[in-house]
Structure 1
Amino acid sequence: MKRRTFLGLTTLGPVIFSNATQAEPLPEPNKVPGEGTATPTSPSPKGNFSFDALSTRMQAKAKEAFESPKITLPEAFQSLSYQDYYAIRFDPNKALWRDGSNFQLQFYPLGWLFQTPVEIFEIVNGQAQPLSFDASQFLFQAPLDPTRFKNTEFPGVAGFKMHYPLNREDVSDEVVSFLGSSYFRAVGQGNTYGLSARGLAINTATNQQEEFPLFTAFYVEKPTSNTEQMIVYATLEGPSVTGAYRFVIQPGKHTRMDVTSRLFFRQDVERLGIAPMTSMFLFGPANQHAFDDYRTRVHDSEGLKIIRSDGTELWRSLQNAKSLANAYFAEKNPRAFGLYQRHRHFRDYQDANHHYERRPSLLVEPRGEWGQGNISLVEIPTKVESNDNIVAFWQPEIPIKAGQAAQYDYRLTWGALEEDRVRLARVKAIRTGEDISATPNPKQRKLIVDFEGGALDNLTAEAQISSRLSITHAKIIQSRVFPIPSAHIWRLMIDLEPEGDAPMEFVGALTDGNKDLSEIWLYQMRTDDAQPINDE
């Protein structure tokens, strides 16, 4: 594949090739190794580093069988506990580029869950040179004995974190972190870490074993003294795929990453996840009954936002399902999708330790046309907030076969992302409960959806507002829409009776009879969602 072909894909979107071995080879200053030759991920010392050359190397490597990294960690790092691991810190006085740029890099040690080293290369004047690490660059704090680690040479590091003066000019904040498999995360101004992104998801929530490809090497361009963005390249490897990635990272109120991913498939893939993100939803008002907890909400994200190709906006409220739940939203060339945290006040959570109100939202904006596929949402039962139980990604309709190649370009935006609350009313909260009428029916449930903003703000209490409502696997007993002026909201109240044990699916919007006044709201509910999760 020629350089102009790859550049063309930036505007055309992803293209699946029928057979990567039949495509024209990418240009490279050095010969692509043959079938029987091991292909290093690190660049040749000859010639300038380029993304095309890195892509060519990973394309050739896809013809070889995957070999799991085999490494023996230094003895002092082999049995680190969680507490031990986080007692090791990179010395900030030895951060890369500390005195020459607004950007600084610090590095994660190996140990605990992170047993596989990654290579780090610094690109200076077009040349990629490997960085080496030893114990003198790290601080070993209590309860560790620093003498155990003295003079230890590292076989690599587990990842890195990027610092930048995000909130104050005189303080270099941690903004981006790459650590573990292909996971990474970022924050905008005023945020703390929350949800994560991944380079790729393979066979998530299928009958096959889920695969977690690894970022095996990173190439970081040395920034100039006044640059406001940083460029990072990465190689990806797993049993089913190899890949080359480019991240252009610009910290700010909303931290943006422009991502190019070039993928080369070793094996067929049943379920491919592009631009995957992982988050946590334990409970909110709809299922708070299932937890004996003084807090009112516990989640890193509360909803999946989808902007369709025609601009229509969907909001799928998240849940902590009692069994594994998969939802599929068929789309063609979506404008955007992401996991959002809407509630931004301490009073919404009452958690003085984790401050969930400061967790970032994450929006994916495809570049070019991604074609037909679906936005997949996976919700996994959990009883504790330490488990990430929400996964969302784009799944292309075209089957992925061994020998194919693809490119996807997209922007990731992290932060307390604002939404247009003038054009459309938004879902503020959902609640569920038993029938509390004078003569309650034990089979019936009540579902409450509160909306705020948009045209609703200018309506009088006498306005004739109704709902467009569709429900499957349940019978609507009655529904009505009414204002609560003191709370500045309009409430949709639904009395329903479940039909069987299948999950109930809800789709609705508020309307004045001529047009929708709100985003389209979606939800899935089971009769036992408000009950504690069993230990089984």
Structure 2
Amino acid sequence: MPGVAGFRLHTPLNRADIFDELIVFQGASYFRALGKDTLYGLSARGLAVNTGLPEGEEFPRFSEVWLRRPEPGDSSATIYAALDSPSVTGAYRFVITPGDDTTVEVTMRLFLRKDIKQLGIAPLTSMFLHNGADKGSFDDFRPSVHDSEVLVLNAGKDATLCRPLNNPPRLASSYFGAQSPRSFGLAQRNRDFEHYLDAQAHYERRPSLMIEPLGDWGKGTVRLVEIPSDLEGNDNIVAYWIPEGETRAGDELAYDYRMHWGMNPPGATPQTLGRVVRLRSGHGGVAGVEADTQTRKFVIDFAGGQLSDMPSDAELEPIASAQNGEIVEAILSRVDGRDEWRLVLELRAEPDAIVEIKAVLSGYDRNLTETWVYQWINA
């Protein structure tokens, strides 16, 4: 229909007497949804094509949309959409179920018209400006400004990666290989107003979004793209799944997945493992004595899981590594008076080096925490 930019659905999400916005489709193949008590934040897309590549990105759009008329008593709404672009055409079905965590079950069938260098399945788009880990040059009264703070990848039965987001000095990408992942997504874990101090935007109420593959997605990679930004109005974070193998003209692809939008949807925070609760960074050296500008210090606090019951003399050890850099020092200790363990890493790297850092706390023949991963650009 000419003149129609998009549409939205309403439902009594938070109160029985008020029809709140539940989901909105607007612009290309973009859409975003809400769980109970959340405010609009990150978005999803139907498909990503050549994002952040020199060839230039292509933005498929939903050219036609159909809403199936709900029957009395239905708890879900079903939407069908046709996707179109120069390189691909597709058919989508969305089954939307509101709740504390609103779910959107997606069925997609793709037909490739051209070779595609990089196809992004279940793409997510968000905003990260700054937080306590590195405020950069922002002269801002708010300690943190972001719609999402970490990328989470649940790769195996007891393997969870937590990648805090960055606002990098230049375009940056990180790649995380996985075989049949349980879920991945962008999470807003900190729900404390004091973490943000924004009485208008209320970033503490932005939803997390986790993608749960349905069926076996096989081998592939989760790509994280981080784009430099000086404004919180810019969506500068993108994450999506890249299937292994080439995507050629004439290929027919099928993917099914379930999206979970909410304050703490399944998979956003590990249930049995300790989690990263805080990240700070600064110059190296001994605090209060002498700064070492040749090194960078990263302070990672872990809590939860079995860590809560561990005494200060527990036999825990950090397993840490740095690609393209050197770990000068690694110190692990329990934080007095708190059920937290603090890992302090001090690193050295060549100027302009892109350093990939990884750390996990281990003990008693198993990993006790999710794996913290981070990209440090020594600009």
Q: TM-score, normalised by structure 1?
A: 0.68
1:448 corresponds to: 299
Distance, in Å, in 1 between the alignment partners of 2:290 and 2:94 is 60
Cα distance in structure 1, aligned partners of 2:339 and 2:80: 48
Tell me what 1:429 maps to.
Answer: 278
Aligned positions of 1:110-125 closer than 5 A: 119=1
Q: Does 1:462 align with 2:309?
A: no
In structure 1, C-alpha distance between the alignment counterparts of 2:170 and 2:342, rounded to whole Å: 29
Helix, strand or coil at the partner of 1:259: strand
For residue 409 of structure 1, report the CA deviation from its aligned partner: 0.5
The equivalent residue for 1:371 is 218
- 2:377 aligned residue: 526
Cα contact 2:156–2:181 (8 A) shared by 1? yes
Which AA in structure 1 matches 2:367? D
Q: Which amino acid aligns with 1:239?
A: P
Q: How does 1:447-526 map to 2 (within 5 A)?
A: 447-526=298-377
Alignment partner, residue 298 of structure 1: 145
* Inter-partner Cα distance in structure 1 for 2:98 and 2:23: 9
CA distance in 1, matches of 2:292, 2:74: 65
Of 95, 119, 122, the residue aligned with 1:272 is 119
In the alignment, the residues of structure 1 paired with residue 51 and residue 202 of structure 2 have an alpha-carbon distance, to the nearest angstrom, of: 29
Counterpart-to-counterpart distance in 1, 2:64 and 2:57: 22
In 2, the alpha carbon distance for the partners of 1:355 and 1:218 equals 32
Please state how far the C-alpha of 1:290 moved relative to its aligned partner.
Answer: 2.5
1:356 aligns with 2:203: yes
Quick check: 2:22–2:98 contact (8 Å CA) kept in 1?
A: yes
* 1:138-287 equivalences in 2 (<5 Å): 155-287=2-134
Task: Select the structure that is richer in helix.
Answer: 1
CA distance in 1, matches of 2:47, 2:269: 30
Cα deviations by residue, 1:86-115 (Å, 9 ceiling, x for unpaired):
xxxxxxxxxxxxxxxxxxxxxxxxxxxxxx
Name the amino acid aligned to 1:376.
R
TM-aligned CA deviation for residue 328 of structure 1: 1.0
Alignment map for 1:296-335 (pairs within 5 Å): 296-335=143-182
Is this contact kept in 1: 2:104–2:260, CA < 8 A?
Answer: yes
Identity of aligned residues (%): 45
Equivalent residues of 2:320, 2:357 under 8 A apart:
yes
Deviations 1:292-350 (A, max 9, x none): 11111111111111111444111111111111111111112111100000000101111
| Shift of residue 488, structure 1, vs aligned partner | 2.9
How many Å separate the matches in 2 of 1:196 and 1:343? 19
Number of equivalenced pairs: 375
Q: Secondary structure of 1:347's match?
A: helix
Cα separation, 2, equivalents of 1:475 and 1:216: 51
Give the Cα–Cα distance (whole angstroms) in 1 for the partners of residues 356 and 217 of structure 2. Answer: 27
2:188 is aligned, of 341, 346, 355, to 341
My pick for the range that moved more, 469-478 or 182-191, is 469-478
CA distance in 1, matches of 2:151, 2:210: 10
The alpha-carbon distance between structure 1 residues 470 and 275, as it changes in their structure 2 partners (threshold 3 A), is same
Do the aligned partners of 1:465 and 1:482 also contact (CA within 8 Å) in 2?
no
Aligned-partner Cα distance in 1 for 2:159–2:257: 20
Q: Which residue of 2 aligns with 1:385?
A: 232
Task: Give ranges in structure 2 of 5+ residues lacking alignment.
Answer: none
Q: Kindly provide the CA deviation profile for residues 259-315 of structure 1, in whole angstroms up to 9, marking residues without a partner as x.
A: 001111111101100000000111111111431111111111111111114441111
Matches of 1:421 and 1:482 in 2, distance apart? Answer: 22
Deviation at 1:513, TM superposition (A): 4.9
Q: CA deviation at 1:465?
A: 2.1
| Shift in alpha-carbon separation, 1:420–1:337, aligned structure 2, 3 A | closer
Cα distance per residue 1:238-259 (max 9 Å; x no partner): 0101111000100000000110
**Paired residue type of 1:470:** S
Is contact 2:318–2:332 with CA below 8 Å preserved after alignment?
A: yes
Give the SS at the match of 2:332: strand
Structure 1 contact 466–513 (Cα < 8 Å) conserved: no
Q: Deviations over 1:15-50 (max 9, x none)?
A: xxxxxxxxxxxxxxxxxxxxxxxxxxxxxxxxxxxx
Q: Is the 8 A contact 1:425 1:517 kept in 2?
A: yes
| Residues 500-509 or 195-204, more deviating | 500-509
- SS of aligned partner of 1:456: helix
DSSP-derived class of the 1:388 partner? coil
| Residues 256-265 or 455-464, more deviating | 455-464
How far did residue 226 of structure 1 move? Answer: 1.7
1:81 corresponding residue in structure 2: none
1:220-245 Cα deviation digits (max 9, x unpaired): 01112321100000011001011110
For 2:143, what is the secondary structure of its paired residue? coil
| 2: CA distance, partners of 1:373 / 1:289 | 33
Match in the other structure for 1:48: none
Q: Which runs of 5+ in 1 are unaligned?
A: 1-118, 120-154, 529-536
Deviation at 1:420, TM superposition (A): 5.7
Distance 1:501 1:513, change over 3 A: farther
**Pairwise CA RMSD of aligned residues?**
1.4
Amino acid at match of 1:403: G
